[in-house]
Amino acid sequence: MANQTYDLTTSLFLKTLPNLKSILSKAESDAQERKIDPQVFLQARLAPDMLAFTRQIQIVTDTVKGAMARLAGVDVPSWEDNEKTFADLRARVDKAIDYVKSFKEAQFEGAETRQVELKFPNATLTFKGKDYLLNFVLPNFYFHVTTAYAILRHNGVPLGKRDYLGG
């Protein structure tokens, strides 16, 4: 019998992450074509109190690795946040894709009811696996993918809905 949590996480992540990688390549090409320093895009924000583009990509991939690990009941790996170029960000997305692919369906046995605890400086959130996935992981994942897309569009990168959704 198929594991819905495994199927849902892997299918959504493995659909969206390659699209994000393609968006990164388009942004880099656009910067080259318009002779814009890539750092303009990499450090861009939609608002002064929002995180920069690079951080949005880091959070997307952190969300993916955290979700996969927590739902499978394994320790979340630590990845440095040291990306400085579009190539670095694409490598990080590739790392997230490879991480998703490293999991087997059997590791997600009981994931829907597995207790997940997230500790933040000012709060601790506790979820059952299904609620963690549906009410925390997916909204955060898509929020940061969308914000990264919007930052690039705001800066004139010629992206459209097809880039976001993929082919």
pLDDT in tens, the chain (167 residues): 468 999 999 999 999 999 999 999 999 999 999 999 999 999 999 999 999 999 999 999 999 999 999 999 999 999 999 999 999 999 999 999 999 999 999 999 999 999 999 999 999 999 999 999 999 999 999 999 999 999 999 999 999 999 999 97
Q: Which residue, 161, 120, 117, 147, is CA-closest to 57?
A: 147
Burial 136-156 (b: 16+ CB within 10 A, else e): bbbebbeebbebbbbbbbebe
Dihedral pair phi/psi, residue 42, rounded to 5°: -65, -30
Cα–Cα distance between 165 and 8 in angstroms, integer?
A: 16
Tell me the residue range of the domain where 156 lies: 4-165
Neighbours of 107 (CB within 10 A): 17
Instruction: Residue 23: give its domain's CATH number.
Output: 1.20.120.450
What is the model's pLDDT at position 127? 97
22 and 163 in contact (C-beta within 8 Å)? Answer: yes
Could you give the angle at which helices 86-101 and 53-72 cross, rounded to 10 degrees?
A: 10
Cα–Cα distance between 92 and 58 in angstroms, integer?
A: 8
Neighbours of 49 (CB within 10 A): 6
Domain count, the chain: 1
Global pTM exceeds 0.85: yes
51 and 45 in contact (C-beta within 8 Å)? Answer: yes
What is the model's pLDDT at position 3? 80
What is the model's pLDDT at position 167? 76
43 and 52 in contact (C-beta within 8 Å)? Answer: yes
> What distance separates the 2 farthest-apart alpha carbons in the chain?
53
